[in-house]
Amino acid sequence: MKIFKKFAQIITFTIISLWVLLPVFLITVSTFSSKQEVYKWPKNLLPKDFSLESIKFFFSSYGTISSFKNSLIVAFITLILVLFISIPSAYAFSRYYFKGRESLKIFILMTRMLPIPLLAVPLTSFYITLSLYDNLLGVALIHTAMALPFSIIILSGIFIRISKEYEEAAIVFGASKLKAFLKILLPLSLPGIAAMLIFTFITSWNEVFAASILTVENRTLSAHILNLLDASPLYFKYAGGFFLSVPAIIFIFFIRNYLMKMWGGF
């Protein structure tokens, strides 16, 4: 019975892993294959003739480099905004008791209940009146709004786990509240903050819908690829998919320990 259970476990995990990893693997293989290879069937498990042709084509096609740059700029602005908003609010949630704290927490999460497609039309007209339409700052703002709820909740979870005694000790030994925060709480929560920022980066990097409806010229990479999807050859799609998914996978690989600690280690 025990062996059967173990066996079932292995099968389940294998299926789940394959389901997640196989597409990524195929995308990667196809990206590094030659153009002709991409159309062949059956697929090879390893690129037969390793080539950077697809990647070269992808980057030389019109708009790719600039959208790549746009994606980086949007992600960077989003990171800065999230950093400066989520740290103080997470601090307040974790260190102070105030009226309506719990409802406010839920309210913050509720902002994620509304799907972006539902908001598309009002958001676009609103952005046009604010002249944020087709503007990278505008995209960064909507990405910030999308990433903030989770960032705040994650970060206040991290702050709560760090004993208040440390800050109190710092204060007793002559530090101001701000200094206690900067010298004690901030360095102690640095791994968590880093993980939160990477989560934010991926949110922004991969977000496609809002970026697509809010931009025309200044496309981010994801919006750019989506826009060209119907009109582009297969190897372009593969290279695009590769550059969209790989940063996320690399980041998650590096921060998975922190993520485990944050969500599993309470």
Partner 1 sequence: MSKKGVVLLNIEKSFGGNKVLKNLSLEVKSGEFLVLLGPSGCGKTTTLRCIAGLEKVDKGKIFIGDRDVTELPPSKRNISMVFQNYAVFPHMKVYNNIAFGLKMRKFPRQEIDKKIKEVSKLLKIDNLLDRFPSQLSGGQKQRVAVARALAVDPDVLLMDEPLSNLDALLRAEMRTELKKLHRDLGTTTVYVTHDQIEALSLGDRIAVMFDGEIVQISNPKEIYEFPSTIKVGEFIGIPSMNFLKARYENGEIFIGNQKFELSDKIRNEIERKKLKEFIIGIRAENIEIYANKCRGSLCSKILLKEELGYTQLLTLKIEDFTIKAFSKAEIGLGIDNYVYIKFREDKIRFFDCNTRKLIF
**Amino acid found at 122:** P
> If binding is defined by CB under 8 A, does position 265 make contact with partner 1?
no
In the complex, least distance from residue 198 CB atom to partner 1, rounded to whole angstroms = 21
Q: Minimal distance in Å, beta carbon 188 to partner 1?
A: 6
Tell me which stretch binds partner 1 (CB under 8 A): 141-149, 179-187, 243-251, 254-262. Answer: 179-187
| 67-126 positions binding partner 1, by CB under 8 A | none
- Reported as type and span, the H/E element at residue 53 is helix 53-60
Q: Does 257 bind partner 1 (CB under 8 A)?
A: no
Nearer to partner 1, 46 or 178 (CB): 178
- Minimum CB distance to partner 1 smaller for 165 or for 230: 165
Tokens of 231: 């009109």
Chain-centroid distance of CA 190 in Å reads: 18
Contact present, 38 and 238 (Cβ < 8 Å):
yes
- What distance lies between CA 149 and its chain's CA centroid? 13
Instruction: Identify the CA nearest to 221 among candidates 77, 76, 68.
Output: 68
Binding-residue pattern over the window 135 to 164 for partner 1, x denoting contact by CB under 8 A: ----------------------------x-
Task: Determine which residue in the list 24, 175, 246, 252 makes contact with partner 1, applying CB under 8 A.
Answer: 175
The string of DSSP letters for 59-112 reads HHSTTHHHHHHHHHHHHHHHHHHHHHHHHHHHHHHHH---TTHHHHHHHHHHTT
Instruction: Please name the residue that has the structure tokens 């593969």.
Output: 238
The owner of tokens 């949007």 is 74
**Does 174 help bind partner 1 (rule: CB under 8 A)?**
yes
User: Residue 179 interacts with partner 1 (CB under 8 A)?
Assistant: yes
Site residues, partner 1 (CB under 8 A): 163, 165-166, 168-176, 179, 184, 187-188
